[in-house]
Structures are given as C-alpha cells and as structure tokens.
Amino acid sequence: MIDFFIKVKQQKAQNLPFVLYRKPNDIKLVGFFQNNDHLYFAENFEETGFVFAPFEGSQMILIPKNQSVKWEALITSFKENEDSNFTDSEDRLAKEHFEKLVQKGIDAIAKGTLKKVVLSRKEIVDLSNFDLVSIFEKLIQSYPTAFCYCWFHPKIGLWLGATPERLLKANNNTFDTMALAGTQKLQGAKEVVWEKKEMEEQQFVTDFILNNLKNLTSEVAVSSPYTLQAGTLAHIKTDIEGVINENSSLKQVVSVLHPTPAVCGLPKEAAKVFILENEGYDREYYTGFLGELNKEGFNKEELKSDLYVNLRCMQIKIASNLAMTQAHLYMGCGITKDSIPENEWKESINKSATMKRVL
C-alpha cells in the first residue's frame, strides 16, 4: 500500500495521467499509470483501458492499457481520520438561485414539455491543506459499497468520487445495468419509507431503460425495486440484465443509456436541452461515466467492461499557492411534478455534506 501511494505521488509530481479505483465491496485497489501525457480517446469502444466521459459531448478520454503500467494492492485498514467540522453557513443567494431553477423545472413539467428533469448545482470549498492520498484513503474508507476513484490528466484536471450507480457491466454480449432514483438521509435503524413521488421517479427511470434497450437486446430480466444504502444516504434501485443482439454493439448500448434519466431526465433530449439552457454552469465530467473498458477475463476470449455514472464527485483545482486550492462539489436532484423547491435544496445540502465528510 505504501509503495502504491509513493507511485501515485511520483506520477502526480511528473504531471502524468493516472487513475486509481476500488470497486464496490472490494478490497483491491487498482491503478493505471500512463507513461506519457498524450490525450487518448475511446472512439469505437473496442479499445482497452480506463474511460472517462463527460455529461455532454463525444470526447471520451481513455487511459489506454497498452500505454500504461498497471498496479494492484490490497487495501489495509487505515487509521481513522478525524471528521472535519465544516461549519456550513447557508448561502442565501445559492439557495434562491437553485430554488428558482427547480421551480422553472416544475413549470416545464406542468406544461407537458418534460416528465422529469435532474437539476444540479456546484459548490466551491476552500482546501487550505489538500493531500491527495489522505483524501482518497478517507473516500474508500467512508464508502465501502461505492465505486471510488481518483482520476488525473494534466490537460483535463483532477477528479475524485464515490459513486453508488453503475451505468453498465458487460461480459462479451451479456450485460447488467440498474435504474436508480430517489434520495433520503438514513435515520439510524429506522426503516426507509418511500413516498409516491420517489416511487414514480424510479419507475420513469426503469421504463426508459427498458424501452430504449428493446431494439438492441434479445432478452431482458428486471428485479423488483429495493432500497440501496450509499454512505449516509438511501436510494431506490432496480436491477436490469440481458443479452446484446449480435448486430448491436457496446457503444450503441452505452449511448442509449447515457445520460440516464437519473442524471438527466425524460424525455432525454428535451431534458438535456433544458439543463444546458438553464443550469448556468458546465457540468464537465459530473454525471458523465467512467470505468474499465474491455478488460480481459480469465480466458482471452472474455472481454469485460464495468462502467459507472460519475456521481458524488468533486473536481480539485490545485493552485500554485497550495493554500488557495479548491474543491468543486456537484449535487443534483430529480425534479418531478410533485417536487417542492425547498425540499430539493435540502436534498442537495445532504449530498454536499456527504462529500465534505471526506475533505
């Protein structure tokens, strides 16, 4: 583990691209360390490596396996980090702006333009003594059931996250994905109860995925919705699995799923246009996707891809004066006809608090 993190620090000091990640419920840490600073792209999804894709646009960045050194390490237990006490003074302007945005979304739904839209905001936190390794250690310690990662490219920037949502897992022509919606804060051992608004939101997501995969798949199976715990939050989840047709490709399936209704809305194109016109900032890689592309299985014939939606993430803007370093946190909320702007603001506050815990 110590050698692994020394390698990370050396790679960062040389300003070379790398990614570290740990899959949900795993004790293995994986790193790809690129041996040059070239910007590679995943164009047809037949490449092998680690892909990092934005919310909007087609430039999917690849850390290619054949241009990188791969390291693995078993995670040993870490010393408990003290919980930093962020004293949050409520930002009235941000609250007002976000609630107005949510109301605009509700109005568009009432007019029938949209069924659902996911609206987000960005929050900036000053980091006076940023240490990449200790924050990443705290991230994997705090979120054992999430896909945790740290991704860096000198031409793009530094991103970290702990996402509860898989976009797609594929093994040759079989795949599984999930519909995820609804968020509430866990209240100790108290049973999680979901409101009609959240159940409806979840059903929208499931129906969208099933309808859009119809022409690309030969068979599909769906689970009943159930509660998923992610850190201090709970979500509703439905598992979906199936077989990709012989004449369809992994890239087609991914482009149907991304961006999912859980991060964009329904109908997808109308929701995306509404977001781009009204959010007032660039999401960049927040609500994009990332993960392993065409990793070889035990036998060479087997190609496995494991992609996650980039949620619960932050972009770290490292300043030349380290004391000026900032974390840009991203939070989104699913808006339906029954949404209440103030409640959505509170949900976004809960989401930002879960990320601040690791800072």
pLDDT of 78: 54
The token duo for 62 is 């690849």
Both tokens assigned to 183: 């968020």
Q: Are 39 and 159 in contact (CB under 8 A)?
A: no
For tokens 């705090």, the residue is: 142
pTM: 0.90
CA proximity to 145, closest of 77, 72, 233, 81:
233
β-bridge mates for residue 34, sequence order: 68
Say if CB 198 and CB 182 are below 8 A apart. Answer: yes
Helices vs. strands in the chain: H and E counts, helices first: 7, 19
Q: Give the pLDDT confidence of 55-88 residue by residue, as tens digits.
A: 998 899 999 999 999 999 998 765 544 445 555 5
Helix (H, G, I), strand (E, B) or coil at 286: coil
User: What is the SS3 assignment for 19?
Assistant: strand
The first and second tokens of residue 351, run together, are 């989401």
pLDDT at residue 293 in the model: 97
CA atoms within 13 A on the CB side of 76: 7
Ordered structural domains, the chain, with CATH:
2-76+92-356 (3.60.120.10)
pLDDT, position 185:
84
Beta strand spans in 54-205 (E): 61-64, 68-74, 116-126, 147-153, 157-163, 166-171, 174-185
SS3 89: coil
**Residue holding tokens 């040389």?**
14
> pLDDT by residue for the chain (359 residues), tens digit each?
779 999 999 999 999 999 999 999 999 999 999 999 999 999 999 999 999 999 998 899 999 999 999 999 998 765 544 445 555 567 899 999 999 999 999 999 999 999 999 999 999 999 988 899 999 999 999 999 999 999 999 999 999 999 988 999 999 999 999 888 888 888 888 889 999 888 988 888 899 889 989 999 998 999 999 998 877 888 899 999 999 999 999 999 999 899 988 899 989 999 999 999 999 999 999 999 999 999 987 777 789 999 999 999 999 998 888 778 999 999 999 998 989 999 999 999 988 988 898 88
Rounded Cα distance, 282 and 8, in Å = 28
Count CA atoms within 13 Å of residue 253 on its CB side.
28
Report the pLDDT value the prediction gives residue 85, as an integer from 0 to 100: 53
Question: At how many degrees (to 10) do helices 196-213 and 250-257 cross?
Answer: 150
Place of tokens 């900036």: 124
